[in-house]
A and B are shown apart, each in its own frame.
Chain A
Amino acid sequence: MFAFIIRRLIATIPVMLVVAVFVFLMLRLTPSDPAAIIAGDNATAEQVADIRGKLGLNEPILTQFFIWGAKTLRGDLGESFFFKKTVAELISDRIEPTLSLSFFTIVLAVLVAVPLGVLAAKKHGSWIDRIVMGFSVLGFSVPVFVVGYSLIYIFASELRWFPTTGYKRLHDGAGNWAYYLILPTLTLSVVYIALIARMTRTSMLEVLSEDYVRTARAKGQIERKVLFRHALRNAAVPIVTVIGLGIALLIGGVVVTESVYSIPGLGRLTVEAVLARDFPVIQAVILMFSFVYVLINLLVDLVYSILDPRIRY
């Protein structure tokens, strides 16, 4: 197992390298000039050129890449072109809202979707099953921003139960922190609840017709134990895969949700950096997201072996 983890971690190196080269080249080849953006409308050509020089953008692309690569390997992600802050500072400022939102979303999605999927499978063909599947189709079909704006309209603008936008940091009080995250979490959870509930139902339906489930029932096990101990555990591998994929896909959802609710997280930082052509920030954030993606895949593989002892690495 340990050797497997090491092998997989080593395998991330070429993946990260490819991502780094790709992102770096894509940014340099797009027809945009951060120096012109920074200089503003009144700037003369000379001023724009000065800024370009200061940012090191006049160097050959290869030189720029090696400078950035060497710094990154030393753990120095560089300084934002715009903010008088290092990229590391910017990321550490923005990571809390994103982690909070992602954590609440995954927890809520799993807590709601897994029992819903199990229930739908158990009541296969009944009205409960149809309602769960109907919700699932709806959850897939409605874009995150539509869910967000609808929830804001109903619960913030009309009922005034929640704030329309914003985020409160944990150190300002756990109550406010959680309160400000309720609507964004609901918004982002919808699609994941739909996804996980659907996958849980399908997996459970397969497992529920297996002999060992019939045996468990014949032994007189109560239905709850049959469903959750015998059936769900055996149906868990595809569900965990979907949850793992969901966590990775969260990155896209977080970008939209943070924009809709004006949450200062990594998603919005990414959008702002892309719009402003803040190369060091874009490069760092994308590398980080890629690393997280690779790591989640590794974790999912490890969880497989815990859930199914037949899987060994």
Chain B
Amino acid sequence: MTSMWGSIRGGLLTAGTLAALTGGMTAAEAQKTLRVVMHSDLKIVDPIWTTAYIVRNHGYMVYDTLFAQDANGEIKPQMADTYSVSDDKLTHTITLRDGLLWHDGAPVTAEDCAASIKRWAARDSVGQKLMSFVETISATDAKTIVIKLKSPTGLVLIGLGKPSSNVPFMMPKRVAETDPNTQISDFTGSGPFVFNKDMWKPGDKTTYVKFDKYKPRSEPASGLAGGKVVKVDRVEWRAMSDQQQIANALLSGEIDFVEQPKHDLIPLYKKDASMVVKDYNPLGNQYVFRMNWTQKPFDNAKVRQAVLYAFNQKDFLDGVIGNPEYYKECKAMFVCGTTFATEKGMEDKLNSNFAKARELLKEGGYDGTPIVLMQSTDLDVLTNLAPVGKSLLEKAGFKVDMQSMDWQTLVGRRVKKDAPSAGGWNAAFTSWVAADVTNPIAAAFVNSSCEKAAWGWPCDEAIEKLRDEFARATEVSKQKEIAEAVQVREGDAVTHVFLGQWYQPQIHKNTVTNFISAPAPVFWNVELK
């Protein structure tokens, strides 16, 4: 019996080996190829057109930025060689490094970058705010970009060094002149990897090839800044969605890196000595509860404040993440460990003070109509938030109608302003990549410009005034002061409730080394043994 199985096994292994040697081992496979599984398949390839994180990650492969955030959160020149500001703070001059090339071999020019900044600014929230200060963006010669302002603002570097969606990626002028509301169809970048549309197989894999002519900075890589030295020939993003499938493939050596392994499976990986479990995104993510200001009862500030008193972060973090190694309670809405982090205004809140919450509900005149709380059921890192929220809200005196749906239905429904009984909604949970919410301009949920604000449509003049002041401030100390005031005002207005930070460790084989800690997963510097 044993010998029969041995023969079968031998035969199969021989067949497999022969298949690999004769038919399948292509030249590409013989190269140093890093095989990774990202959090989703790449469907859209214009990182300015959408804010989806997978497209941002694609952007970091293919495109470069004028500035970038280093490991300490400081903005450093990237494509830029020098950067200067005039004494009146109205003229910002950026010169480009020597030797920068597009993937088609043409040199990167200041005109390309000026057009790219304009396209990015038409889409991005920080960019839009920045443009309200900009008089002109021009190229005075092949390498010099000049941004002239109508009045001083601190948003130039905050915007151009923005680490997360939308990142101001530089594109050739012919591409950057595409209508910002239309997807690009030319994927020429100047980043460390080349994206070839023919090697993009949606649902299967996306292949990036090392750009041999890329000229990295001389400094060592730090965060998203520094030298982007590519040490592999190709990076393949394999499309896999099932976590068990991913675990099988990783443990069998068919893939090298997983961006978002399920927390429940981490102990399984840790048992395997050939696996490395490490979190390369030090800021992590932030859970958020969002209320719809256009519908009762959350059109009332007292009722929104009641939520802030009813909730506590630990219950949510325990309910979803479970292991305290991967979460942190944090009462700073601009994320603990960042420049604008403060707990001011939140000291007595987020402690599940149900008596206070009930009192506020009464003051707000809540009539007991059930609130429609949307629960997404297909994303592990979100599913348990709604049941925990429902329980806490009910303890505070709310009546809750929790409606379960898949994430994409929730995304479609949350943009509707209809009454909850007519297909609208009252509240929902989501999660932000922490790098997206580190200041009052970038944090989309702080935007309180009514109709123009993100879903939930908060409307608060005081917050908008403070955001405007923040944009005008050019000194960090002044910006900190304003960020603190925004948070204090949030305690009354309550555009959203932030529910703590959580971390998503990555898994890779120990034969893959030198990953960079950054707010977005990047693959320069990575070595394959």
Contacts and interface: CB of A to CB of B under 8 A. Distances in A.
Interface in A245-270: 259-262, 264, 268-269
A54 B180 CA distance: 12
A264 B412 contact: no
Contact of A167 (B26, B204, B251, B408): B204
A54 B240 contact: no
Contacts of A165: 240, 245, 248-249, 254
Interface stretch (B295-303, B338-346, B451-459, B504-512): B451-459
B423 interface: yes
B50 A264 contact: no
Contact of B12 (A45, A161, A268, A275): A161
Interface in B28-76: 41, 43-46, 50-53, 55
Given A41-B430, A45-B454, A276-B408, A175 B242 contact: no
Nearest to B13: A161
Given A42-B165, A276-B43, A36 B242 contact: no
B242 A260 contact: yes
Nearest to A51: B181
A46 B19 contact: no
Interface stretch (A10-18, A60-68, A81-89, A128-136): A81-89
A44 B125 contact: yes
Tier of interface size on chain B? 35 or more
A175 B24 contact: yes
The A contact surface, by secondary structure, is helix
Interface centre among B44, B239, B406 (most CB of A within 10 A): B44
A185 to B, nearest CB: 14
B289 to A, nearest CB: 15
A38 B50 contact: yes
Interface string B223-258: 000000000000000111110110011011010000
Nearest to B123: A47
A95 to B, nearest CB: 12
Interface residues of A, number: 64
Contacts of A36: 411-412, 414-415
A80 B181 CA distance: 16
Contacts of A34: 412
Given A41-B51, A44-B453, A262 B240 contact: yes
A94 B241 CA distance: 17
Contacts of A262: 238-240, 242, 245, 249
Interface string B452-495: 11110100000000000000000000000000000000000000
A43 B43 contact: no
A162 B19 CA distance: 12
A174 B238 CA distance: 22
Contacts of B24: 168, 172-173, 175-177, 179
A152 interface: yes
A113 B165 CA distance: 55
A160 B252 contact: yes
Closest 3 CB pairs of A and B: A173-B23, A176-B24, A175-B19
21 contacts: A31-B413, A37-B411, A39-B50, A39-B51, A41-B432, A45-B451, A45-B452, A83-B43, A149-B244, A156-B248, A160-B252, A161-B9, A161-B16, A164-B254, A173-B22, A175-B20, A176-B23, A179-B15, A272-B203, A276-B43, A277-B412
Given A30-B409, A31-B423, A45-B451, 17 more contacts: A31-B409, A32-B413, A40-B165, A42-B436, A42-B444, A45-B457, A156-B252, A161-B12, A162-B16, A173-B22, A173-B24, A176-B24, A179-B15, A259-B241, A269-B203, A272-B43, A276-B43
